[in-house]
Structure 1
């Protein structure tokens, strides 16, 4: 359901001429009854992969997390505030904003200006109905492990934190989980929902050990059994090593 609208990705030039850059396209992404119009790099050739930031694509883990939210809307309907870390194009966070009673209490974050511009486009595409006072989610800069106290002072704590396919390097895991813990509210119902593809099969143990060190308890969510229709969104081979987990603050 691609439209003809396209957006050229601008990358600063330096040195020899670069290959042709992939383009953003505006396409509809439907997660059951929740339909979004998302600007992103929806398709690209392998030779173009090094030209695209991970945050410019919609990854299978994001679709699985979004489906879990749609199938469990009570998680969001009882939440006073929602945060997405490493949001990229923002699929899970925007789905959350569609389901949450207060879309303006949903904050989507990334640490790349190019991706934040993309997020802003997607917020406008899905929440701008011509009313400047209408409730809509916000996007802002956040780098894990930096300025987290100031961020909490400005935006408050969160009842639900979302993160999908944001683990690519082992040193990022403590930064991610500690940032999430610092921003989670102390309510018993406050949760971090994390989906990620452990492509190299080396991160799962580190995630669990780091969570324990951060004072987080976790549960693996058997999404293949709980979300039998996930294969309508992603090919099973794409999520062969995908983990969907829920984290809560441990009882002190």
Structure 2
């Protein structure tokens, strides 16, 4: 029997289990021993108020498969909260000429944005793993294939900090950038924020929306300090007050360490 933690852990809540698992990831103690398995995918309907998505993903994760957080095949609560924020504030997407999702995984926030956007083809979902890009392609087809002539969002390979200028030359800059639950190691933070800054358009309304669970409670200060170093101004969004319906799509324990933040380019 494959066991990562002592039996006592199994008497804790699911949120406690997830927290300890991902604290291990964040502190580099976790070593993946089970390769990711696409056969674990299932197709399920995810409803964010009036937006309904059909998503292929790892919807049920066993303890031994916790490494899948590294491959972006699971839908995490932070993605649902960010999706809800977009649904409650559709003007963010509807007034944007272009939308990008970084580290998209199954693509929930980006696909919500595409459903809200007047031009879904101006929504680009990215990841740095071929396995995840294949998953994104599946989910785009599942949600934008009713009309063969309909325009669809796109997906593309992007690794933070590498080839960002070439990516911008190909796709242009973006008015809105989305990222959810993409921070697991401290060195990821400057790569994420600098990449986002380099791809944001120079408009006063251009924003990065970041939703993440700081399960190990070690990243929030680094995020803020790094944002300042990258020339980004930030604001915490009090989603618990602004989005009281969040408890209908995620259990409150799952987001007790969640931060929802908006970043904008500072004045030059």
CA deviation string 1:138-185 (max 9, x = no partner): 001000000000000000000000000000000000000000000000
Equivalent residues of 2:68, 2:74 under 8 A apart: no
Extract unaligned runs of 5+ from structure 1: 8-15
Structure 1 CA distance for aligned equivalents of residues 61 and 117 of structure 2:
33
User: Shift in Å at residue 133 of structure 1?
Assistant: 3.7
Structure 1 CA distance for aligned equivalents of residues 204 and 236 of structure 2:
18
Cα 1:104–1:40 change in 2 (3 A) is same
User: Shift in Å at residue 246 of structure 1?
Assistant: 0.1
Structure 1 CA distance for aligned equivalents of residues 118 and 26 of structure 2:
30
Equivalent residues of 1:28, 1:38 under 8 A apart: yes
User: Quick check: 131-140 or 64-73, which moved more?
Assistant: 131-140
Structure 2 CA distance for aligned equivalents of residues 246 and 5 of structure 1:
28
Aligned to 1:6: 29
User: Shift in Å at residue 134 of structure 1?
Assistant: 1.8
TM-score by length of 1: 0.89
Q: State the aligned residue count.
A: 239
Q: Cα RMSD (Å) of the superposition? A: 5.4
CA deviation string 1:29-73 (max 9, x = no partner): 000000000000000211222366440000000000000000000
TM-score by length of 2: 0.84
Equivalent residues of 1:216, 1:248 under 8 A apart: yes
Equivalent residues of 1:158, 1:183 under 8 A apart: yes
Would you tell me which structure has more helix in proportion to its own residues?
2
Equivalent residues of 1:6, 1:24 under 8 A apart: no
Alignment of 1:1-252 (within 5 A): 23-50=40-67, 53-127=70-144, 129=145, 131-252=147-268
Secondary structure in 2 aligned to 1:229? Answer: helix
